[in-house]
């Protein structure tokens, strides 16, 4: 992975390059950014740049051809290690990342942008919620206790570090604070608040901003070279800085379907909740409960996005919303019911339902309860 393979993020790239040229590489760093911003790709590109033996002074990227770069680009370098959320299965009740290493390499090399629920789908997690379990910390300590095989630095990249369970995180504190010489920890995460405070205090924060629409279009052109330029622009506009959402929008445009996968579920939920049709609410809750927990959480993200866009539409200006034609048509009719008097309470209810799903609550009950709670909120009159 090279910096040139990741469009945009020029300021972050230069900062990372400067840490190498100035010989001030922090031994523990947290690459923090929203979903779909390419933070994992940047972490790999940075590690490759550090260990590249073919770059010359002043070069702003790894050479891509030296033995280290060749192995990095295949993710097979013996001094590059990965940790990522995994799930328990029939084959093992105490899984570690290396149990899924072949799948992980295939998943990462597919593209430069990665999403947790895509990873779970890739390894067939069904309805299981993944984590980085306690036994993983022992593997990390063992690996980093060994001498480097070839490169100057041993690199440990922990993807979705917020999935470190408390036991695993606590076991790593001393290693992160005082690692062996020439060892680099790169934690990659989306939610800083879910990472243990004691871990956060030991890492240097590298904030990865959302890619601009122009950066997203450039990435889409690489992955979909036959796509129409205007379609690329429309997809980037709807993505809200998330490349993966832009890909989903582009596929829908190309197939002739421009609504997002959760659009129909959201509109149905709002209609049934407003009309308080209890039989219909229970039937819908049953369907939502079958999505799987990661997709249920994505549905809640979509609901909050639609609430935000409807509020902007009703209170500010239509020119500021990013909606597909179908979403916009619905929002024009629905937005009068989303206003200052209820938007906060509605968002809070969706947030609470999402937290209950994360705690493994019974899905059908969560969605039924949500519909019953938002029903009176939708009927609150505008102030």
Does residue 322 sit in the same domain as residue 245? no
Indicate the pTM of the whole model: 0.75
The 10s digit of each residue's pLDDT in 4-58 is 999 889 999 999 999 999 999 999 999 999 988 999 999 999 999 999 999 998 9
> Could you tell me the two tokens for 94?
């105490």
Q: Number of folded domains in the chain? A: 3
17 contacts 187 by C-beta, under 8 angstroms: no
Does residue 163 sit in the same domain as residue 196? yes
**What's the CATH code of the domain at 44?**
3.40.50.300
In a domain, 80, yes or no: yes
Does residue 275 sit in the same domain as residue 374? yes
Does residue 24 sit in the same domain as residue 144? yes
The 10s digit of each residue's pLDDT in 250-267 is 877 766 555 567 888 999
In a domain, 76, yes or no: yes
CA angle 191, 340, 301 (to 5 degrees): 30
Nearest to 210 by CA among 245, 242, 244, 249: 242
Does residue 268 sit in the same domain as residue 250? no
In a domain, 383, yes or no: no
Q: How far apart are CA 372 and CA 380, in angstroms?
A: 14
- The per-residue pLDDT for 90 is 56
R_g over Cα of the chain:
23
Does residue 83 sit in the same domain as residue 196? yes
The 10s digit of each residue's pLDDT in 120-148 is 889 887 666 789 999 999 999 999 988 88
Residues of the domain holding 278: 263-378
Does residue 43 sit in the same domain as residue 171? yes
Does residue 244 sit in the same domain as residue 277? no
Does residue 311 sit in the same domain as residue 232? no
Q: How far apart are CA 167 and CA 133, in angstroms?
A: 8
In a domain, 113, yes or no: yes
In a domain, 22, yes or no: yes
Does residue 248 sit in the same domain as residue 274? no
């Amino acid at each position: 992975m090279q910096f040139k393979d990741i469009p945009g993020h020029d300021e972050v790239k230069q900062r990372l390059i400067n840490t190498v040229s100035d010989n001030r590489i922090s031994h523990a760093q947290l690459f923090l950014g929203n979903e779909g911003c390419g933070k994992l790709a940047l972490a790999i590109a940075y590690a490759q740049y550090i260990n590249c033996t073919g770059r010359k002074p002043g070069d702003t990227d790894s050479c891509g051809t030296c033995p280290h770069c060749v192995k990095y680009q295949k993710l097979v370098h013996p001094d590059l290690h990965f940790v990522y959320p995994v799930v328990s299965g029939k084959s093992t009740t105490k899984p570690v990342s290396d149990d899924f290493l072949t799948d992980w390499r295939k998943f990462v090399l597919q593209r430069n942008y990665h999403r947790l629920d895509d990873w779970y789908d890739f390894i067939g997690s069904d309805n299981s919620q993944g984590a980085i379990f306690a036994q993983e910390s022992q593997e990390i300590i063992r690996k980093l206790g060994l001498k480097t095989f070839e490169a100057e630095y041993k690199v440990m990249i922990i993807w979705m570090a917020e999935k470190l369970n408390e036991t695993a995180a606590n076991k790593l504190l001393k290693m992160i604070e005082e690692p062996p010489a020439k060892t680099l920890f790169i934690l990659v995460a989306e939610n800083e608040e879910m990472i243990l405070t004691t871990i956060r205090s030991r890492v240097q924060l590298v904030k990865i901003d959302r890619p601009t629409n122009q950066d997203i279009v450039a990435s889409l052109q690489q992955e979909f070279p036959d796509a129409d330029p205007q379609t690329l622009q429309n997809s980037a506009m709807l993505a809200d800085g998330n490349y993966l959402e832009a890909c989903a929008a582009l596929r829908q445009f190309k197939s002739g379907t421009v609504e997002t996968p959760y659009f129909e579920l959201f509109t149905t939920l709002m209609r049934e909740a407003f009309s308080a049709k209890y039989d219909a609410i229970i039937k819908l809750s049953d369907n939502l409960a079958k999505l799987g927990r990661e997709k249920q959480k994505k549905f809640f993200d979509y609901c909050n996005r639609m609430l935000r866009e409807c509020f902007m539409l009703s209170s500010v200006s239509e020119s500021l919303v990013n909606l597909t034609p179908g979403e916009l048509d619905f929002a024009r009719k629905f937005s009068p019911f989303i206003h200052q008097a209820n938007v906060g309470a509605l968002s809070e209810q969706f947030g609470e339902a999402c937290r209950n799903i994360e705690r493994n609550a019974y899905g059908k009950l969560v969605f039924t309860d949500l519909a019953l709670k938002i029903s009176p909120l939708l009927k609150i009159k505008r102030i």
